[in-house]
Amino acid sequence: MADWGPVFVAVVLFVLLTPGLLVQMPGKNRFVEFGNFQTSGVSILVHSILYFALICIFLLAVHVHVCFVNYDICESMSDWAPVVIGVVLFVLLSPGLLFQFPGNNRQFEFGSMKTNGKAVAIHTLIFFILYSVFILALHVHIYTG
């Protein structure tokens, strides 16, 4: 049985919280800047903390699940893997931090601290694929007790 809830929540949060796409905190010139397609290590840290808090709320407190078979099994799950994997992938795949594909000046740029709409779309697709593989195909779980 596949639970698509964590995948949906993680991908939506990735898009909404990618620094520079909709908002960047802190911005280059002001605390909050909108749609500037810029990023920085500090803004990725701030957005990662927001990502962590929101994914914890949606997956651990609210228990967002999208199950197509046997909802009772899905309802009883309490798993940290979707949170941890989502946060790690969010940081590693934030366009402009480690790499950006496509770049602004070249096809592939490293550490540019900039982004663009195409890069956000490509990085979101990569995020979706990797997150789905870890959660749905490999069934990675981190249970705490």
Spatial separation of the C-alpha atoms in residues 80 and 83, rounded to whole Å: 5
For residue 136, what pLDDT band results from cuts at 50, 70 and 90?
confident
What's the pLDDT score for residue 91? 95
Provide the whole-model pTM: 0.81
Spatial separation of the C-alpha atoms in residues 98 and 102, rounded to whole Å: 13
What's the pLDDT score for residue 86? 93
> Stretch 116-139: mean pLDDT, rounded?
93
Q: Are 86 and 55 in contact (CB under 8 A)?
A: yes
Spatial separation of the C-alpha atoms in residues 114 and 103, rounded to whole Å: 8
- Is the model more confident about 36 or about 60? 36
Residue 118 has pLDDT above 70, yes or no: yes
The torsion angle over the Cα atoms of residues 8, 12, 17 and 20, rounded to 10 degrees, is: 140
For residue 117, what are the contacts with CB-CB under 8 A and spacing of at least 6?
21, 37
What are the pLDDT digits (tens) for 3-36? 778 888 899 999 999 999 999 999 989 999 999 9
- Is the model more confident about 80 or about 118? 118
Using DSSP, state whether 95 is helix, strand or coil: coil
Spatial separation of the C-alpha atoms in residues 34 and 83, rounded to whole Å: 26
Spatial separation of the C-alpha atoms in residues 100 and 129, rounded to whole Å: 17
Spatial separation of the C-alpha atoms in residues 128 and 117, rounded to whole Å: 16
What's the pLDDT score for residue 78? 66
What's the pLDDT score for residue 85? 92
For residue 65, what pLDDT band results from cuts at 50, 70 and 90?
low
Residue 47 has pLDDT above 70, yes or no: yes
Instruction: Give the residue ranges of DSSP H helices in 18-139.
Output: 41-56, 71-75, 81-93, 117-132
* Amino acid at position 50, single letter: L
The domain spans of the chain are 5-137
